[in-house]
Structure 1
Amino acid sequence: MSGAVDTSTPVQPPEFPQRLGHPRPLWMLFMTEFWERFAFYGMRWALTLYIVAQFFGGDAAGQASASRTYGAFLALVYATAIFGGYVADRVIGYQRSILVGAVVSAIGYFMVVVPDHTLFLLGLATIIVGNGLFKPNISAQVGQLYAQGDARRDSGFTIFYMGINAGAFVAPIITGLLAERFGGPDMPAYKAVFLAAGIGMLISTVWFWFGRHQLGGIGRPPAGAEGPTRVLAVLAGVVLAVPLVYFLMSIDAGILLWILAALFVGLCVVVLAEGVREGPVNRDRALAMLVIFAFNVLFWMFFEQAGSSFNFLAQNIVNRDFGGFEFQVGWFQSVNPIAILVLAPVFAWLWVRLGRANPSIPRKFGLGLILNGLAFLLLMYALSSLVDPATHKIPFWTLFMVYVIQTAGELCLSPIGLSMVTKLAPVRVVGLAMGGWFLSTAIGNNLSGIFAGHVSGEGGMTVASAQAGYTFGFYALVGAGVLLFLIAPLIQRWMHGVK
């Protein structure tokens, strides 16, 4: 998840010492982000499985509730990122925002270790609030290391992006091994997972604490706000925000959906009104952007089955046995980041190689939706034709390839989202429009939990329920992708030459 885009007047960075051709602080930020992503993805795969095991006594009837909690968690992670950039820009600066967010997140990770449902949800709420302060601002710090026009900027973000995916790759493998190693009545497996995630977040905090001096004045508090008063005010805001997020986590997922949708509609009205005020060209561009936001909701609704229904599919319906060696459920979560590292250079080369035939923004989004749909088509085929009559399970390779195909779809859509907003949004509301992008993703994530709950049904996932749910996913995604291809010429006209 990328963070806020700095639309303020650029500040000339100091002459940093160089390491491997880049400013030395880049590598400190790389490792800070690596350990934060280790914590997040190390815990993320286990959430739904833990909820069912701990709070429903292993009863499969708890799968639907677990999926809805997971969807709400991801939705609010994205939604709170909207406010993190504001706090950094206007209140306490980027460095202090990252530190406060890291400490708050670490507290949340250790809270979820305690096997109490209320404290568990409070822990998730604490992680959400901490993530909102941490995640968007550390990405912004990377951009601030380079002067305007520095040709190394894109390469620096590529290196930083590798840190994100390296942490996401190793985390499920390590925490999955810990879950297997320490599983038992005295030390529940998922407790070891959450402890490891909390330790990872502590390492991230300490790494940034000792490394931040490398940044010099980059990301320091605004002039006149160097004292502790504003930090204390932000901490007070955190204390107030955690119960609010807890409340949003606790209510019905459908109600949360209406709240997020109302915020999104209000935001869209403001952005479109500003576009109308700026004239027909900006009005059309704003409209094109908002239409793509709607399709973005659908993409993430089905993509984020990874931590919910795909978990239950892997646990109960996928054959993970390799002659006595069992592939851990959590390890499937490592397929996406390693596939990104492998496929991202391929897609970057492909877009350049196509030259003038390079697909437009709406067609790339449409291709992303269709590829996501093809992943569900593979599941439809597996669940209808490849179920082993003896074990009632589908082959391992099918779910593995689902993650790979979905990653290809993600690479068509996700990398261009933030860039698209900066190109199409009315100048005076770029930050607000960026919030719309995150809100559309948040709504998709919340819908992913609701959809996963329907896939599991009241009694837990079966081959029949999975096949029915994923069949719907296929038709919805491919239908939306084809529709977007058909209306792409209209959207391109509205974009008025923006590529």
Structure 2
Amino acid sequence: METTPTEFYKSNVLGQRSGLFVLFFTEMWERFSFYGMRVLLIQFLTAAVIAGDPKSGWAWSAEQAGALYGTYAMMLYLTPIFGGVIADKYIGSRMAVIIGAIIMTIGHAAMAFDTPVMFFIGLACLVIGTGFFKPNMPSILGEMYKDLPQKKDGAYTIFYMGVNAGAFFGMMLCGYIAETQGWHWGFGLAGIFMLLGTLQFAFAKPLMGNLGILDKSEEAVAAKNAADTDKRNPFTSLDYILMTVVGIIGFLYAFNDPLSKNGIIDMFAFLDTPVLRGQYIMIFIALALFIYMLVSRILRYDKVVRDRMFAVVLLAFFLIFFFMSFEQGATSLVLVARDYIDRSLTGTALTTFNIVNGLLTIVPLAIISWVLVKLALATWKKIALSNIVLISCFVLIWGAALWMLKNEFSKEASEITVSWFSTLNSFFIIALASTVSKLWESKYNPSAAFKYGFGLLLVAIGFLVLGLGASEIGEGVKISMAFLVLTYLFHTLGELFISPVGLSYVSKLVPARMLAFMFGIWYLAIAIAQKVAAVLGGQVETIQEEYSLSHFFFLFTAIPAAAAILVMVLNPLIKKLMHGIK
């Protein structure tokens, strides 16, 4: 598809195309809303039921909450596979982003109402909306820079900063408002920014030319069909049957898990054994069928392509061990921060924290506001309405941030909000990403297997630190918050070794005609990891009661550490399978 040149190619902001910053702010507000809601979910589900209290929750157990969150997180990585296909074939990336954003706005609005029905409608809308939104923003960005490949890496870095800035402010402000004013205020704030972000993107249409618009001309369709048809290895009837069976079992399990753990229905109870629940037996069957389908399909390719695809599958396998540990940040670590971390501050400690927290809030907000001003100056004549909406967003966010800081500075004693700890991941990414990325450009750039190994080891060290901190707790004694801060630091370093490089290896190792299939496998691995992470994270209360909290953290020290050693031992094999790809 050809993109006609527009004035936006001439208008630059900070040396990049101004359209990049329209995408930057759209993604930033979407991530603000998404992470702002996510940081509240487990807290809301497990909070005590207190009549008349706006901070009253549903009083679910950690296991029940983890089961629901796991299914939600799993679906967030599966629906984009379908959203990308629908955009590619029928509606185009730009329309998919707008549709997805509207559905997510409805979802956030639904969750602001204090009823179970609206809550579940909201979650469903967020899953569907993310499916349309998530794969198509990077697609528009890639299209924007296809004639400027030398600037693409820088553009993606800036875009990634928008993701983390949105996550940072979303968790901080939605979390603070929800924990101090009531859950529906936090959910509602997420919805307001999702709506404004959607309007900002829609009103920027005059700047974007034909970017993300599907070209349905006969020539474009013919060219696409010629490029996409995999004549050497079409899917067989057996492939389709196996994919259907695996998909149905996976889908039923995803919903059966929270339904059965809440005593509503267990579709697989007839298979229960004294050792293993029926739903897990079905998952093992589905896994065996899926592995057979995947291996049999890859074996039909010639040797070099086959080996490289097996390398991707191996990396995806170890990715599961990383994310099942790292994603404890959304489940068990939230509960640990709430129930086991000493969050109370007074005197000098409180003053110091408030100053640090004030700087953490004001400095990034000031920098991003400066970017907003630069964008407005460069594009006002073209997209004034979009800029007005964007300025409104910043007026609101500055108001919320200053109100939060004024509240905290006026207190003589305070308790740090649970959600504040979740912001550390985004903050550390923004602070450390450029430093870690310089390593990839130096002579010390490790191989893929060692990047994964180091990432897994760093996550293991993070849990080891927290396990040691938890070993000191006793009656009336809680874990020092320094241990949790260090855990998030190590986890973020681990993420920087693994997350940004994973998809890069897929694109390097897999021929273009098979990229969609292998990206699907990659996202499936992350979806499985999300579900496993939440199910294991839901055991935090059980393990703490039967053994100790340290046991829980040492379990998550051992699993990624063992996976790290194994992937580094397999380095020669993985390098051989890559056939020279660095």
* TM-score interval (norm. to shorter): 0.7 to 0.9
State the distance in 2 between where 1:89 and 1:250 align.
28
The answer for the alignment partner of 1:234 in structure 2 is none
1:327 paired with 2:416, answer yes
1:18 paired with 2:11, answer yes
1:349 paired with 2:348, answer no
The answer for the alignment partner of 1:444 in structure 2 is 529
User: Aligned match of 1:420 in 485, 505, 529?
Assistant: 505
Listed as ranges, the matches of 1:121-160 within 5 Å are: 121-160=120-159
Superposed CA RMSD:
2.7
- SS state of the match for residue 150, structure 2? coil
Measure how far apart 1:270 and its partner are: 5.5
The answer for the alignment partner of 1:292 in structure 2 is 315
Measure how far apart 1:13 and its partner are: 5.7
Q: Which amino acid aligns with 2:183?
A: Y
The answer for the alignment partner of 1:71 in structure 2 is 70
Measure how far apart 1:451 and its partner are: 0.2
The answer for the alignment partner of 1:192 in structure 2 is 185
State the distance in 1 between where 2:298 and 2:73 align.
30
Q: Which moved more, 1:113-122 or 1:65-74?
A: 113-122
Measure how far apart 1:77 and its partner are: 0.4
8 Å contact kept, 2:71–2:255: no
Listed as ranges, the matches of 1:205-216 within 5 Å are: 205-216=198-209
Point out where structure 1 has 5 or more consecutive residues left out of the alignment.
1-9, 183-188, 226-243
- SS state of the match for residue 221, structure 1? coil
Listed as ranges, the matches of 1:51-450 within 5 Å are: 51-53=45-47, 62-182=61-181, 189-223=182-216, 250-252=255-257, 272-323=295-346, 324-353=413-442, 355=443, 357-385=444-472, 387=473, 389=474, 391-450=476-535
Point out where structure 2 has 5 or more consecutive residues left out of the alignment.
51-55, 219-248, 259-276, 347-412
- SS state of the match for residue 278, structure 1? coil
Measure how far apart 1:352 and its partner are: 2.1
State the distance in 2 between where 1:495 and 1:197 align.
43
- SS state of the match for residue 457, structure 1? helix
8 Å contact kept, 2:3–2:210: no
Equivalent pairs: percent with the same residue? 32
The answer for the alignment partner of 1:48 in structure 2 is 42
State the distance in 1 between where 2:481 and 2:562 align.
28
8 Å contact kept, 1:91–1:222: no
State the distance in 1 between where 2:464 and 2:492 align.
15
Measure how far apart 1:221 and its partner are: 2.7
Q: Which amino acid aligns with 1:221?
A: L
8 Å contact kept, 2:76–2:131: yes
Cα separation, partners in 2 of 1:330 and 1:340, compared to 1, 3 Å: same
Map Cα deviations across residues 118-156 of structure 1 (whole Å, 9 max, x no partner): 432221111000001011101111111113453111111
Cα separation, partners in 2 of 1:409 and 1:337, compared to 1, 3 Å: same
Q: Which has the larger radius of gyration?
A: 2
The answer for the alignment partner of 1:34 in structure 2 is 28
Q: Which amino acid aligns with 1:494?
A: L
State the distance in 2 between where 1:496 and 1:299 align.
25
Q: Which moved more, 1:445-454 or 1:273-282?
A: 273-282
Q: Which moved more, 1:60-69 or 1:395-404?
A: 60-69
What's the TM-score, normalizing by structure 2? Answer: 0.74
State the distance in 2 between where 1:31 and 1:443 align.
30
- SS state of the match for residue 115, structure 1? coil
Cα separation, partners in 2 of 1:28 and 1:440, compared to 1, 3 Å: same
Measure how far apart 1:115 and its partner are: 2.6
Q: Which amino acid aligns with 2:42?
A: T
Q: Which amino acid aligns with 1:401?
A: L
What's the TM-score, normalizing by structure 1? Answer: 0.86
- SS state of the match for residue 322, structure 1? strand
- SS state of the match for residue 14, structure 1? coil
Q: Which moved more, 1:391-400 or 1:441-450?
A: 391-400
8 Å contact kept, 1:173–1:334: yes
Q: Which amino acid aligns with 2:256?
A: I
Q: Which moved more, 1:424-433 or 1:284-293?
A: 424-433
- SS state of the match for residue 516, structure 2? helix
8 Å contact kept, 2:45–2:58: no
Measure how far apart 1:89 and its partner are: 0.8
State the distance in 2 between where 1:432 and 1:468 align.
39
Cα separation, partners in 2 of 1:475 and 1:153, compared to 1, 3 Å: same
State the distance in 2 between where 1:362 and 1:136 align.
26
1:480 paired with 2:535, answer no
Map Cα deviations across residues 374-420 of structure 1 (whole Å, 9 max, x no partner): 111111111113x2x46321000111111110010011111111111
1:493 paired with 2:484, answer no
State the distance in 2 between where 1:448 and 1:352 align.
32
- SS state of the match for residue 287, structure 1? helix
- SS state of the match for residue 498, structure 1? coil
- SS state of the match for residue 172, structure 1? helix
Q: Which amino acid aligns with 1:316?
A: D
Measure how far apart 1:342 and its partner are: 1.1
State the distance in 1 between where 2:509 and 2:289 align.
18
Measure how far apart 1:224 and its partner are: 6.0
Measure how far apart 1:471 and its partner are: 1.2
- SS state of the match for residue 211, structure 2? coil
State the distance in 2 between where 1:463 and 1:344 align.
39
Map Cα deviations across residues 86-112 of structure 1 (whole Å, 9 max, x no partner): 111111001110111001111111112
The answer for the alignment partner of 2:373 in structure 1 is none
